Chain A
C-alpha cells in the first residue's frame, strides 16, 4: 500500500460547484497532515494544515479521520483560480520530531466557466 494515496482525477467542475478530494495514508504514526496546492510548473504551496477536529479557511474545509487514516478537502463555490493540483501531504513521523513530508501524487482540479 502506498504511503499516501489520492484519486488522480482530473476533476472537471463548473464555477460555483462544490468539490471534495479524499486521501488515505498508511502510516498510523503520522503526526501532521496538510493540503498543498501546486500550479502548473510551479512549486507546491501550503494551502492548509489539517487538524483532528477539522478546520475551515474560507471556502476550504479540511477533515482528518485518524481511525480510518483518511483526510479530505472540500472546496465550496469553486473559482477559476482554484484550478490546480491538490496534494495530500503526511509527515512520516519520527517519535515527535519533524520527520519528513510524504506527498501524494495529487488530484488535478479544473474549474470551467
Chain B
C-alpha cells in the first residue's frame, strides 16, 4: 500500500480481555517497529522486526505483550489480560534499509 496501515484505529476493551492490533507496512519495507505512546508522553520502543525475525524485543513491557510478523508483511501485536496502564496509542512504523521510516496513524487503545 501507499502508507502504513493500522487497524483498528480505536479499540475500547474491558480489563482482562485480550486484544490484537494489526500493522500493514509499506510494501517492500523490510523493517517494522512497534511503539507505544501514552497520553502526553514520548514514544516508547516495544519491538523491532527485520523480516520476520525480531532482533530487539527489549521494549516489550511484560510477558503479556507479544508480537509476530509474517515474512515482510503484516505484523500483529497482542496484549493479553489487558490492564488499565496498557491504555495508549500503539504506533507502527516501517522502513527500507534504515531510511524513510513511516508511521501509521496508530491504534488508540482504551482499557476500561
Contact = CB atoms under 8 A, between A and B. Distances in A.
B98 A87 contact: no
Contacts of B95: 98
B105 A43 contact: yes
Interface stretch (A9-17, A21-29, A57-65, A100-108): A100-108
Contacts of B35: 103
Contacts, number: 51
A97 B103 CA distance: 20
Nearest to B34: A100
Given A98-B50, A100-B33, A100-B48, A32 B56 contact: no
B1 interface: no
B105 A42 contact: yes
Contacts of B100: 46
B100 to A, nearest CB: 7
B88 to A, nearest CB: 13
B98 A105 contact: no
A77 to B, nearest CB: 27
A112 B11 CA distance: 35
Nearest to B35: A103
A90 to B, nearest CB: 11
Interface in A49-72: 49
Nearest to A31: B98
A83 interface: no
A69 to B, nearest CB: 19
B55 A105 contact: no
A104 B56 contact: no
B41 interface: yes
B98 A98 contact: yes
B45 A97 contact: no
B103 A101 contact: no
Contact of A101 (B45, B50, B55, B106): B45
Interface of B: 31, 33, 35, 41-43, 45, 48, 50, 55-56, 91, 93, 95, 97-106
14 contacts: A42-B105, A43-B104, A44-B91, A45-B103, A91-B98, A92-B56, A94-B56, A97-B55, A98-B31, A98-B98, A101-B45, A101-B101, A104-B42, A106-B42
